[in-house]
Amino acid sequence: MKESDQKLTMMISQRNEEAIDILIDSYGGLIKSVIRKQLNYNHDGLDECLDDTIMAIWENIHAFDPVKNELSQWIAAVAKYRTIDHQRKKIRQMQQEQSYGEVADHLFSDGSADIEEEFEELLAPLSPKEKKLFRQYYDEGVSSREIAKQWNVKESWVHTKLSRGRKKIKQMLLARNEV
């Protein structure tokens, strides 16, 4: 193992924050390259994957074994698998959104005379702010990016609020045995 890699692993192990700068300077290009390749050169999620990778390296440096491989190989593997985890998370989130959309479609397609009343009932466990968010996203079809701009928040905040709101609705429906 190179002396610089040995020093870097020791600094990370000792939780020396300067190690993050050295890590990024030394291996940032490699990490970004692996992430881009795994994301099929789609830059959506690149920054989040980069942050996750650096945190994973920081938290799991004890798992690095210089006998098995070089630090650069280990870092590349961490970047690859963190990116795969990120992609799986997005897929699960998209599947969940589709399944909740199907529940909403089912509720609205049953021929009910007062769809708005059913929609209000569905949104009952949500706060007024969450209701407004759900109306914009699901009823009006406004994209999460546009909502984030309108509300002056990060797009990830919008997705988090939608996810938590769906969980509240699901809990209510499960309690009533409707799902």
Per-residue model confidence as pLDDT tens digits over 108-159: 554 444 567 777 888 888 899 988 988 888 778 888 889 999 999 998 999 9
* Inside any domain, residue 105: no
Question: In whole numbers, what is the pLDDT of the chain averaged over residues?
Answer: 83
Name the band, by pLDDT with cuts 50, 70 and 90, for residue 39: confident
- Is there a domain that residue 106 lies in? no
Same-domain status, 122 and 165: yes
Q: Per-residue pLDDT tens for 41-62?
A: 667 778 888 999 999 999 999 9
Q: Please state, for a pLDDT cut of 70, what percent of the chain lies above it.
A: 85
CATH of the domain at 146: 1.10.10.10
One domain, residues 71 and 21: yes
Residue 101 lies in a domain: no
For 65, other C-beta atoms within 10 Å of its C-beta total 8
Residues 80, 152, single domain; the answer is no
Together in a domain, 120 and 79:
no
Q: Are residues 73 and 138 in the same domain?
A: no
Is 144 inside a domain boundary?
Answer: yes
Q: How far apart are CA 16 and CA 10, in angstroms?
A: 9
Question: Rounded to whole angstroms, how far apart are CA atoms 110 and 115?
Answer: 9
| CATH code of 75's domain | 1.10.1740.10
152: buried, middle or exposed (CB in 10 Å: 19+, 13-18, 0-12)? exposed
Q: Which of 23, 52, 86 is the last residue of a domain?
A: 86
Domain boundary among 52, 69, 86: 86
Domain count of the fold of the chain: 2
* Residue 8 placed within a domain: yes
Segments forming the whole domain that contains residue 122: 111-175
